[in-house]
Amino acid sequence: TEEFLRKSDRLSVVGQLAAGLAHEIRNPLTSLKGFLQLMRERGPNQDHYYEIMSAELNRINFIVSEFLIIAKPQVIQYEMYSLNQLIHTVIQLLEPEATMNNVRMSVKMTDDPIMIYCSEIQMKQVFINLLKNAIEAMQAGGEVRVEAYVERQQVHLRVVDNGAGIPRERLASLGEPFYTTKEKGTGLGLMMCFKIIEAHQGTIQINSQIHEGTEVDIALPLAAQQQGGREERWKNSIKAVP
Ligand code: ADP
Ligand code: MG
């Protein structure tokens, strides 16, 4: 769109990276600020906050170092992770921000962990961005529901809010760099989400109803299936050797 062209003309590549860096650092910084506020309100002996805050500082550190090496080809570490665990960690991280915004978060998933083969740091980045968008869409408070389940050999992660919603004609612009409707937004969060999910062989679908809310549905391959697929290809290539 015109708006996007105008903005990208104005920003050099370096400027775009700087904007991305600022965006990704603002998330953990906001969360740190929230924890500091909670600690002040609740007085001394809040040691359990230190661990989370220290994890957030590590995240900032990681993001900065990631950006410092962005020009070089980088190896992203993929491992097996429990989606349930990832969700719990991220929900805990965003709890202060949700509380400050009068937003209640609820989770629905099975007790059996759903395993996904992913880059933990990237997947966390995706969930954080989606939950933040949901919280930011509910200026007057509301509810965010997070659901994880397996259906037709795919892992689904759904984030549902009852916030402002997105007008139909704007749905197509989501994920374009710098598309934002927020005064302090950068419009880079969803772009990162799309890129990361694509790299994980997944898809993102966004449904929204203005004034009613938004549903983001991520579908990812099941870890077992994905690894099986790789092994199949490997076996086939061995067979091809005379
Ligand atoms: P930012 O949050 O910095 O604006 P994003 O890429 O995360 O950038 O989101 C782009 C735009 O998409 C937002 O400015 C907002 O207009 C819209 N959006 C994303 N998620 C939601 C949501 N859950 N509810 C309503 N609008 C949303
Ligand atoms: Mg965002």
Q: What atom in ligand 1 is closest to the CA of residue 134?
A: 23
Task: Note down pLDDT in tens along the chain; length 242 residues.
Answer: 444 544 444 555 556 667 777 877 888 899 899 998 988 888 877 788 888 899 889 888 877 765 655 444 456 789 999 999 999 999 998 999 999 999 999 999 998 999 999 988 889 889 999 999 999 999 999 999 999 999 999 999 999 999 999 999 999 889 877 788 987 777 778 888 888 898 899 999 999 999 999 999 999 998 865 544 444 434 333 333 33
**Protein residue with its CA nearest to atom 8 in ligand 1:** 187
Whole-number Å distance between alpha carbons of 216 and 58: 28
166 Cβ below 6 A of ligand 1: yes
Q: Could you tell which of 101, 170, 190, 215 is best to mutate to test the pocket of ligand 1, judged by most ligand atoms within 8 Å of the CB?
A: 190
Hey, how many other C-beta atoms are within 10 angstroms of the C-beta on 26?
A: 16
185 Cβ below 6 A of ligand 1: yes
Distances (CA, A) of 237 to 95, 138, 232, 242: 48, 52, 9, 10
Q: What is the pTM of this model?
A: 0.73
Model ipTM value: 0.99
